[in-house]
Structure 1
Amino acid sequence: MSNPGRPVVLLSALLLVVAAQATANAAPDDGDHEMGSQIALVEGRAMPASQPLTAQVAQTPGMDVSSHQGNIDWKAVAGKGGKFVYVKATEATTYTNPSFAQQYTGAFGAGLLHGAYHFAVPNQSSGQAQADYFVDHGGAWSRDGMTLPPALDIEYNPYGANCYGLSQAAMVAWVHAFSDRVVARTKRYPTIYTSTKWWTQCTGNNGGFGANNPLWTPFYGSSVGALPAGWGFLTIWQYADKGTFPGDQDRFNGAYDRLKALANG
Structure 2
Amino acid sequence: MQARQASNVTVIDVSHHQGDIDWNEVKTGGVAGAFIKATEGASFVDPRFAANASEAAQAGLRIGFYHYAHPELNAAAAEAAHFVRIVKGLKADFPHVLDVEGDASKLGALTTWCSAWLKEVNRLTGHSVMIYTGASFAKTYLGKSLANYPLWVAHYGTDKPMDNGIWPQWSVFQYTSKGTIDGIKGNADVNAMEKAFFDEHFGASDDPVPEPTAEDQIKIVVNDQLAAYGRIIDGHAYLPLRQLGEALGVPVDWRAAEATPYVDGKRVDSFKLIDGKTYIGVRAAAELLGGKASWDHGTKKVYLYK
TM-score scaled by length of structure 2: 0.60
Matched letter for residue 259 of structure 1? F
Q: Partner residue of 1:248? A: 189
CA 132–66 in structure 1, closer or farther in 2 if over 3 Å, else same: same
- Counterpart CA distance in 1 for 2:202 and 2:112 is 27
Q: Partner residue of 1:210? A: 147
Matched letter for residue 131 of structure 2? I
- Counterpart CA distance in 1 for 2:72 and 2:168 is 29
Aligned residues between the structures: 196
Matched letter for residue 248 of structure 1? D
Q: 2:24 aligns with which of 68, 71, 75?
A: 75
Query: Tell me, which stretches of 5 or more residues in structure 2 are unaligned?
Result: 204-306
Q: Partner residue of 1:100? A: 49
Query: Tell me, which stretches of 5 or more residues in structure 1 are unaligned?
Result: 1-53
Matched letter for residue 230 of structure 1? I
- Counterpart CA distance in 2 for 1:253 and 1:175 is 23
CA contact (8 A) 2:156 2:176 kept: yes
- Counterpart CA distance in 2 for 1:141 and 1:209 is 26
Residue deviations 1:8-40 (CA, integer Å, cap 9, x gap): xxxxxxxxxxxxxxxxxxxxxxxxxxxxxxxxx
Structure with higher helix content: 1
Classify the secondary structure of the residue corresponding to 1:226: coil
Taking the TM superposition and a 5 Å limit, the aligned residue runs for 1:167-206 are 167=108, 170-203=109-142, 206=143
Decide which moves more: 221-230 or 74-83.
221-230
Structure with higher strand content: 2
1:69 CA displacement = 1.2
1:114 CA displacement = 0.4
Taking the TM superposition and a 5 Å limit, the aligned residue runs for 1:105-120 are 105-120=54-69
Q: 1:138 aligns with which of 87, 101, 112?
A: 87
Residue deviations 1:28-53 (CA, integer Å, cap 9, x gap): xxxxxxxxxxxxxxxxxxxxxxxxxx
- Counterpart CA distance in 2 for 1:73 and 1:182 is 30
Q: Partner residue of 1:163? A: 105
RMSD value over aligned CA atoms?
2.0
- Counterpart CA distance in 2 for 1:99 and 1:226 is 32
Percent of aligned positions with the same letter in both sequences?
30
Q: Provide runs of 4+ in structure 1 moved above 3 Å.
A: 139-142
Classify the secondary structure of the residue corresponding to 1:87: strand
- Counterpart CA distance in 1 for 2:69 and 2:88 is 13
CA contact (8 A) 1:207 1:228 kept: no
Q: Highest relative contact order (Cα 8 Å, sep 6+), 1 or 2?
A: 1
